[in-house]
Structure 1
Amino acid sequence: MAILIFNRLSHSDVPYEQWLKDLDEDLYLFTDKKQETGFTGYTQVHAFENYDTNNAVEFMALELYEQVPYSTVIATAERDILRAAKLREFLGIEGQSWESALAFRDKVKMKTLLSRANIKVPAFAMLETAVDLYKFIKQHGYPVVVKPVDGMGSRNTAILKNREETIEYLSQGLASNLIVEEFIEGEMYHIDGLVLGGKFIHCWPSKYFNDCLAFHDGKYLGSYLLAPQNPLTERLRNEVISILQILPTPANTTFHAEIFHTPQDELITCEIACRTGGSRIIEEYRQAFDVDLTKLSVQAQCGLKTDVSERFLQREGPKTQFGFIGLPPKHGVFQGAPTWQELPHWVTEYNVLAKPGQSFTGAHTSVDYVLTLVVKGNTEQQVVQRIQDIAEFLENKMVWD
């Protein structure tokens, strides 16, 4: 038998061939052309341009099945969740179903299921015509948020604060597959964790720096883990457990939830995804808990026994506090950034993603970065201060034309 893997992540984060070496099965990788470097030791590697929207990916996957009837389909990124589920459904392969994938990818379906179960979500509606938007604004007032039903990375998300912005937005023509929501005043938290064998295993909440739309203003995005004694830690964990029990959650999956905490002390669910959080959440979790969430999920989906420590199973907190940030590109030509040796000892991971001479026109999603880093500290407050300090240092040291 064989395993088909859909991939759009870097090899350093997802060395599938190492994770699955005990299976001794053929591995077929369909990956984004931008991420093909490093993937060696596979039976076949197919790299695609325009991977996210390239429907030849699914067609060639079906052709491959005629030659090699693979038994498992793996997807670790948001864009591949529906793609993999559709193939499983058509081919009769076990794994996350189409119904489950839709519940996590379709924001209207997700919020409908949650609201019916008395989980607080923003007021929302499908947005197909200007009439829908007009009715929603009349009922809920400004501001409102408009975004794709199956969006990710805050791409093509707009906040409309008044009539003038609404007219300008509508003048460009409405895209298809949109949702409109009320704007929630509050601080945003993300909660990341793992389900294995149909059982909730672990999760931990973090608080965002800035917000997921801060890239529009050229601001960095980041987050830091909450301390065990933070009064929101247990509340957020319990809220996510309730959400996972309501939705058709896959038997083996990571998850990434985003929840608002309002000035009125309410928790309002923004959304949840059945995959590991983006940016450096995966590395932050590795360092804080000595666990690779994606690795365990992939191994479980492929039938391997997962090696999970007793400390992790007991849902204990991080061994110390961690946080991460990603700095977005500016409008201009990147010329350089500080070296690892110039950074403080409490920076535990540092990745410069841009190359000298590379041109940018700003950030287009919340995860468009020129560099990322992870920091550690003894307390939440120390991590927050260190992130602020290192962000200011890097802003002053990076060179742009």
Structure 2
Amino acid sequence: MRFLVLNRTPVAQCRYPEFLGEGHDVVLITDAAAVPADADERTAVLRGYAHVEIVEEFHANPAVELLALRLHEKWAFERLLALSESDLSRGARLRAAMGVPGHSAAGVDAFRDKYAMKSALWEAGVPLLPFAAVRHATDLADFIAEHGWPVVVKPRRGGGPEGVEVLHTPDDLPAFLARHPEAGTDDGALLLAETYLEHQPFHVDGVLVDGGIRLVRPSAPAAAGIPRDAPGTPLEPHDPLSGDLCALAVAALRALPAPRDCVFHAEVFRGGDGLLVLNGISAGARDGSEEAVPEPGFGLRLAELHLRSLTGNSPAPVPARPLRTAGPALLPSRPYW
């Protein structure tokens, strides 16, 4: 089979030719930041690919799509892989243009557009914070009038904390709207408002294989001072919270048009009253950290399990329970005097 891979993960960690197995042509378009700077190391990690294109400006670069289409003319790809949540929409557009199967643009939009996602989840009864689409200043004013302060405003698309703002008082509004002049146009802005909740965050990561849950694992994010993309601390299976977190993530996944095979990631908030609400879910891997998240407990990488399962290339068995408990630690430097 001929695969096109869109990649932004360090290629030394996500070894597509090895994970997909022999008998496949794997063509790679990768972010330059994902390959080693050393020439010898670069040659070693790129061995096994049928063809490689390294792109300096990878994120949101429309030239990547033109490059993919040009390569398709030569290779006639049968599958396109884009594991990162930041590449899901790009991958869906290219599948449609190439006529290859996989997660459709409509299916991806149900995950990538936060308002569309939360609307579907609300209809399915998944617990959420109150939310509303914000196109104009009047939409935001109406939401605040109903729900009060503080209010969280975030882009409808995108992931992570980028663009997320908490408005605490009316004094915060003028500066916020000045940063979003599109809210004053006829087309309006693409923003989402939510009520603010003091919370403890949790992550739930896993893998879908042929429509079934192959692996699911909740974790608490790394503590303050540890890099954001570091793996969190997996919860113990006997912790009642572990089962509740997994059940909530799976319910959200079932309420949306998820592909039959994917890596997924959910973020859940636990309020001071102990109640859980879903903040969001993605049918893609967390940028930069998806390989490491389950590895401390299960000894498996999400991406590897997903890719080996796609081609039946000896996917590793998933243990019934984690093999160990592990997590990151921050060790301050020792002062010398």
Q: TM-score under structure 1 normalisation?
A: 0.74
The Cα RMSD (Å) is: 2.1
Indicate yes or no: 2:20 matched with 1:20.
yes
Identity %: 29
Of 321, 325, 330, which residue of structure 2 is paired with 1:321?
Answer: 325
Cα-to-partner distance string for 1:289-327 (whole Å, 9 max, x where unaligned):
0212101212334x3345232x53xxx332221123xxx
Larger fraction in strand? 1
Q: How many Å separate the matches in 2 of 1:55 and 1:32?
A: 13
State the Cα deviation string for residues 219-276 of structure 1 (Å, max 9, x = none): 7546311112212011111111211211111111111100111122211100011123
Query: Per the alignment, in what secondary structure is the counterpart of residue 5 of structure 1?
Result: strand
Which of these residues, 171, 186, 199, is aligned with residue 199 of structure 2? 186
SS at match of 1:51: coil
Q: Which moved more, 1:27-36 or 1:292-301?
A: 292-301
Sort the Cα spacing of 1:123 and 1:83 in 2 relative to 1 into closer, same or farther, 3 A: same
Equivalent residue number for residue 308 of structure 1 = 316
Matches of 1:129 and 1:14, distance apart in 2? 42
Aligned partners of 2:131 and 2:194 also within 8 Å: yes
Q: Which residue of 2 aligns with 1:353?
A: none
Residues 219 and 10 (structure 1), Cα distance of their counterparts in 2 relative to 1, 3 Å cut: closer
Question: What CA distance in whole angstroms lies between the structure 2 residues aligned with 1:271 and 1:224?
Answer: 20
Question: Pick from 249, 254, 265: which aligns with 2:258?
Answer: 249
User: CA deviation digits over 1:6-65, x for unaligned, max 9?
Assistant: 00110122111221232x222211111222333233222112232111111111211221
C-alpha contact (below 8 Å) 1:227/1:321 kept by paired residues: yes
C-alpha separation in 2, matches of 1:65 and 1:40? 21
Separation in structure 1 between the aligned mates of residue 324 and residue 198 of structure 2, nearest angstrom: 30
Measure the CA separation in 1 of the matches of 2:190 and 2:53: 30
- Higher mean C-alpha deviation, range 32-41 or range 119-128: 32-41
Distance 2:284 2:326 in 1: 21
Q: 1:198-217: CA deviations, max 9, x gaps?
A: 1112211111245xxx7xxx
The aligned counterpart of 2:11 is: 11
1:146-198 alpha-carbon deviations (Å, 9 max, x no partner): 11111122112111111122222112234542212111222111001111011
Instruction: Give the residue type in structure 1 aligned to 2:327.
Output: G
Q: How many residues align?
A: 319
1:137 maps to 144
Shift of 1:279: 4.6
Aligned to 2:185: none
Letter of the 1:235 partner, please give it. D
Q: What are the equivalent positions in structure 2 for 1:150-229 lying under 5 Å apart?
A: 150-174=157-181, 176-209=189-222, 221=228, 223-229=232-238
> Which whole-Å CA distance do the structure 2 matches of 1:317 and 1:235 have between them?
16
Gaps of at least 5 residues in structure 1 are 325-386
Q: What corresponds to 1:72 in structure 2?
A: 79
The 1-side partners of 2:289 and 2:59 are apart by 21
Provide the rounded CA distance (Å) in 2 between the counterparts of 1:193 and 1:318.
Answer: 13
| Equivalent pair of 1:227/1:317 in contact (CA under 8 Å) | no
Q: Which runs of 5+ in 2 are unaligned?
A: 37-41, 183-188
Match of 1:162, as an amino acid?
A: T
Shift in Å at residue 86 of structure 1?
A: 1.4
| Aligned pairs (5 A) from 1:1-400 | 1-22=1-22, 24-37=23-36, 38=42, 39-174=46-181, 176-209=189-222, 221=228, 223-280=232-289, 282-301=291-310, 303-309=311-317, 311-312=318-319, 316-324=320-328, 387=329, 390-391=330-331, 393-394=332-333
